[in-house]
Structure 1
Amino acid sequence: MPPKQKFSREEIVASAVKILRQDGLSGITARALAEELGSSPRPIFTVFHTMEEVQDSAIEYAKNLYNGYVSEALEQDLAFKAVGEAYIRFASEEPKMFQLLFMSEKNLENSFVSILSSIDENSQKILQSISESYGFSDEKAYRLYMILWVFTHGIATLYATGVHAFEPTEVGGMMADVFLGAVHQIK
């Protein structure tokens, strides 16, 4: 008969997410998780087979949290602008999760479309919002997305690494300047 579960899957994942927020993915070890739960590592393995499964659950939590930011932004009137602001807000509020999702080494194809799709599963929805909001062809929407994503990713990275946090009005102004310049150039 298998041992009785001392902790639920949700309790273990919640503790793993707490560690992720403090120490990043590499901080989620059996020892650290057991300490966070106030137990030995053994009860973890009555629910999960490996620590990789626990880490994968924490990654899935981070993706879902980020997707919530984007989904909410896509409902706004200026969806593309709101998505950029949500991306930066996620980096500011969840720096370790941002680093995990958007600053980890990846073996990706050379095509920027492939990169965006691999990094952010919301990329097609974002491209669609650009096409619909601004009447751009797919090619022009992609170009605008690429330009603004690179710019926004730079700001978000500054937040996530603690290098610099701009005032919200500064960010909005810079984003507007780059957006207007890019739109002018693309048209």
Structure 2
Amino acid sequence: MPPKPKFTREEVIAAALEIVSEKGMEALTSRDLGARLGSSARPIFTVFQNMEELQQEVRIAAMKRFEAFSEKAIHYTPAFKQFGMQTILFAMEEPKLYQLLFMTENTVHRNFDDVFEDLGETAVVCMDVIQKDYGLNAQEAKALFQQVWIYTFGIGALCAAHVCHFTEEEINELLGQDFTAMMLLIRSGQLNDPTVQPHPKTEND
């Protein structure tokens, strides 16, 4: 008869998530996790087959924490802009988790649709908010979401890596400028219009 687990899966995941939040995924070892739980490393492997399985559960838990953080935006107006604010604030408050979720090297070629799916419920809620608040169709809403998310992701990466620090007022202004520029493009009817050519450079440019 197998030994009765000393800790539940949820308890182990919660302790592992806190280690990763403080020090990053590379700091998550069975020995340090056991110490965090006040035990040896052995009880961990009564509920997980190996560290790889635990690491995957930590990523899922990190995404849930991000979603809970970003979903606060739904109570603001405009909600979509606040989603961007919440994403960057998450990067500032949880830099190691932001790095885990959005800055881990990916060797598989992917397009934005794959990224969109990885964002889960956050992306779905954002799309609904955009279409409802701004009267955009699905194609326009996704184009807006993609542009603003890429811009937001970049600011978040700078903050999570401690390359730059922005105040909330500065973040608000930066996101507002990007959003306004993209909305002007959409409202002009030139979104994905193959007949629109870049303005050629002149000697005065």
Q: TM-score, normalised by structure 2?
A: 0.83
Does the 8 Å contact 1:101/1:119 carry over to 2?
A: no
Aligned residue identity for 1:151 = Y
CA–CA distance in 2 between the matches of 1:87 and 1:64?
Answer: 13
Superposed CA deviations along residues 44-67 of structure 1, whole A, max 9, x for unmatched, are 112222112221221121111111
Task: Name which one, 1 or 2, has greater alpha-carbon Rg.
Answer: 2
Aligned match of 1:172: 172
Residue 86 of structure 2 is matched in structure 1 by 86
Mapped to 1, the partners of 2:116 and 2:15 lie a distance apart of 30
Letter in 1 for 2:137: S
Aligned residues: 185
Return the alpha-carbon distance in structure 1 between the equivalents of residues 43 and 115 of structure 2: 39
The Cα RMSD (Å) is: 1.7
User: Structure 1: how far apart are the matches of 2:46 and 2:110?
Assistant: 39
Residue 99 of structure 1 corresponds to which residue in structure 2?
99
C-alpha separation in 1, matches of 2:17 and 2:52 = 14
- Pairing 1:46–2:46 present: yes
Aligned counterparts, 1:45-84, within 5 A? 45-84=45-84
Which residue number corresponds to residue 129 of structure 1? Answer: 129
Does 2:119 align with 1:120? yes
* Cα displacement (A) at 1:167: 1.2
Q: Note if contact 1:84-1:149 (Cα within 8 Å) is conserved in structure 2.
A: yes
Per the TM alignment, residue 109 of structure 1 is displaced from its structure 2 partner at its CA by 3.1
Q: Which amino acid counterpart does residue 37 of structure 1 have in structure 2? A: L
Q: Is the 8 A contact 1:84 1:152 kept in 2?
A: yes
Letter in 1 for 2:102: F
Partner Cα distance (2:82, 2:172) in 1: 10
* Rounded Cα–Cα distance in structure 1 between residues aligned with 2:115 and 2:145: 9
Cα distance in 2 between the residues matched to 1:16 and 1:136: 42
Runs of 4+ deviating beyond 3 Å? none
Deviation sequence 1:3-47 (CA, Å, 0-9, x none): 233223233222211211122222212122122223221111122
Shift, 1:108, TM fit: 4.5
Q: CA deviation at 1:174?
A: 1.3
Tell me, what secondary structure is at the counterpart of 2:147? helix
Structure 1 unaligned residues grouped into runs of 5+: none
State the distance in 2 between where 1:119 and 1:156 align.
17
Q: Distance in 2 between matches of 1:77 and 1:108?
A: 36
* Alpha-carbon distance change, 116 to 132 in structure 1, aligned in 2, over 3 angstroms: farther
How far apart are residue 124 of structure 1 and its match? 2.6
Q: Which residue of 2 aligns with 1:109?
A: 110
User: Structure 2: 5+ residue runs without aligned partners?
Assistant: 188-205
Normalized per residue, which structure has more helix? 1
Shift of 1:115: 3.3
Report percent identity of matched pairs: 37
Distance 2:149 2:78 in 1: 16
Equivalent position of 2:182 in the other structure: 182
Shift of 1:143: 1.7
Distance 1:119 1:43 in 2: 31
Q: In 2, distance between residues paired with 1:138 and 1:116? A: 17
Mapped to 2, the partners of 1:147 and 1:118 lie a distance apart of 16
- Check whether the contact 1:73–1:86 (CA below 8 A) recurs between aligned residues: yes
